[in-house]
């Protein structure tokens, strides 16, 4: 723990959805859901307007449509989001050489290492300046948490949402955490929370009162000891720059233990795609794929597979993770899944798809029997980022070309975006980020005057998705 709140945590507000609203004037102030639109699609991000209907990330898209039938449902534009993320990360880099990205829209910053803060007042000034710079550069908002540790900085940014700043003064941790639900502590998901509740422990203060020995008895040595330290406010983890990372990984703890084998595989594939997104964002590739499975009884299994060479290809990582899952017994339920890549390198092996072919021919069958195309290119890459998004093998060419939310340009009407398509027609709304809400027009899907386009910058003079 530091004596000054010089660790900053930034979390952009509903990032994907907010970027879409900023890009599309007709959607501002309206519910927007971004994710895979196919039958197996899941929500990547929901705008705050959509969250009022109960829509949240990782929710099946079919359920989201039932909750918010009038929302705008869009496929993700990851090149666009990466371009905006690059602008944000550049601003963070001006604050300190120690920036630890967690995803496209979230990062820790060591303000002390950058020499911009050594007490609460200077840290708050740096945080407020960052928020203003992000808004001026991208047109989007982010929430900032400041504290003496990473755990508390992240808690603070969550409390700051949306579009705010919360600073936790060192020395107030115990008072702040004590009355809170034990679920506020990192690593305490629904299953751990329920396990503790049955033991009469529901608040952080009760965790401290129980003592380390009791927590170890309840949760095991590593988990119990870690929980006790966190409850006391102790978190000495340093901010580590991404270039120093030895591995990249993502994991999810589920509200309800997963039992269905197909659902478990879908989650593993989704995590693999997210992991590759982080891997590419860090400028690395890796040769060892790691699968982590925490079962219903808190036992944790780790399986790994080392490839012939480093990769950052989503097909290779996804199929390797799926193969690793085949060797894991998930009977009884799964509460956590994780996928990681280690053995990082700054280059990628040329014959990446040879690895995929060696694992199972040129195309690998997915869990629903659909063969996924093993081809490269930005359109396939973006579709693969979210389960259920259109893929080259599962969508007709016209539907794939005119996915809802994608950018287009018409020779007569100028730039716009696809609202929907089907039955040989495509509906386009013609507007720009800096214009008023635009007019909707419908065209044949093969209209020669209509073609895909690069995203327009949110702020005049800003970067576009084409640069990502």
As a whole number of angstroms, the distance between CA 138 and CA 87 comes to: 7
- Catalytic annotation present for 357: no
As a whole number of angstroms, the distance between CA 439 and CA 392 comes to: 30
User: Active-site residue among 106, 112, 269, 382?
Assistant: 106
Are the beta carbons of 122 and 10 closer than 8 angstroms? Answer: no
DSSP 174-225: HHHHTTSBGGGSTT--HHHHHHHHHTT--BHHHHHHH-HHHHHHHH-HHHHH
Q: Which residues pair with 106 in a beta bridge?
A: 11, 103
Are the beta carbons of 423 and 438 closer than 8 angstroms? Answer: no
Find how far residue 398's CA is from the centre of its chain.
Answer: 29
User: What is the sign, positive or negative, of the torsion defined by CA atoms of 343, 339, 45, 41?
Assistant: positive
Nearest 5°: CA angle at 277, between 276 and 281?
Answer: 110
As a whole number of angstroms, the distance between CA 86 and CA 89 comes to: 5
As a whole number of angstroms, the distance between CA 468 and CA 459 comes to: 16
Q: Omega before 162 cis (within 30°)? A: yes
As a whole number of angstroms, the distance between CA 33 and CA 20 comes to: 9
User: What is the sign, positive or negative, of the torsion defined by CA atoms of 117, 118, 123, 125?
Assistant: negative
Nearest residue to 165 via CA among 121, 204, 203: 121
Alpha-carbon Rg for the chain in angstroms: 23
Are the beta carbons of 150 and 96 closer than 8 angstroms? Answer: no
Active site residues: 106
């Amino acid at each position: 723990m530091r004596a000054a709140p010089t660790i900053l945590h930034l979390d952009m507000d509903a990032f994907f959805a907010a970027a879409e609203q900023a890009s599309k004037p007709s959607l501002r102030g309206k519910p927007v859901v971004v994710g895979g639109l196919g039958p197996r699609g899941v929500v990547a991000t929901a705008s705050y307007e959509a969250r009022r209907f109960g829509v949240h990330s990782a929710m099946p898209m079919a359920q989201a449509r039932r909750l918010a039938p009038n929302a705008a449902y869009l496929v993700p534009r990851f090149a666009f989001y990466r371009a905006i993320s690059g602008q944000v990360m550049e601003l963070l880099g001006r604050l300190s050489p120690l920036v630890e990205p967690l995803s496209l829209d979230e990062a820790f910053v060591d303000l002390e290492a950058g020499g911009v803060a050594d007490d609460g007042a200077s840290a708050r000034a740096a945080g407020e300046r960052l928020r203003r710079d992000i808004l001026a550069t991208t047109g989007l908002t982010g929430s900032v948490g400041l504290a003496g540790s990473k755990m508390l900085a992240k808690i603070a940014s969550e409390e700051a949402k949306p579009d705010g700043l919360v600073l936790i003064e060192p020395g107030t941790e115990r008072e702040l955490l004590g009355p809170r639900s034990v679920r506020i502590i990192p690593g305490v998901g629904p299953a751990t929370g329920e396990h503790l509740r049955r033991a009469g422990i529901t608040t952080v203060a009760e965790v401290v009162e129980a003592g380390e020995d009791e927590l170890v008895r309840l949760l095991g040595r590593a988990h119990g000891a870690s929980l006790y330290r966190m409850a006391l406010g102790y978190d000495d983890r340093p901010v580590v720059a991404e270039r120093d990372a030895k591995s990249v990984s993502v994991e999810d703890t589920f509200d309800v233990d997963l039992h269905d084998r197909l659902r478990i595989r879908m989650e593993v594939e989704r995590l693999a795609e997210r992991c590759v997104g982080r891997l590419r964002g860090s400028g690395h590739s890796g040769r060892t794929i790691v699968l982590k499975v925490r079962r219903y009884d808190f036992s944790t299994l780790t399986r790994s597979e080392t490839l012939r060479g480093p990769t950052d290809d989503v097909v290779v990582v996804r199929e390797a993770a799926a193969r690793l899952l085949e060797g894991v017994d998930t009977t009884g339920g799964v509460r956590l899944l994780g996928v990681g890549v280690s053995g990082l390198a700054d280059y990628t092996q040329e014959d990446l798809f040879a690895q995929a072919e060696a694992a199972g021919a040129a195309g690998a069958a997915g869990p629903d029997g659909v063969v996924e195309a093993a081809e490269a290119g930005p359109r396939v890459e973006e579709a693969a980022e979210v389960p259920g998004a259109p893929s080259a093998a599962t969508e007709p060419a016209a539907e794939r070309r005119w996915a809802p939310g994608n950018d287009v340009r018409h020779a007569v009407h100028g730039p716009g975006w696809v609202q929907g398509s089907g039955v040989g027609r495509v509906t386009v709304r013609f507007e720009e980020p800096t214009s008023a809400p635009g007019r909707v027009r419908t065209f044949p899907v093969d209209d020669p005057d209509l073609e895909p386009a690069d995203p327009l910058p949110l702020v005049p003079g800003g970067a576009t998705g084409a640069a990502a």
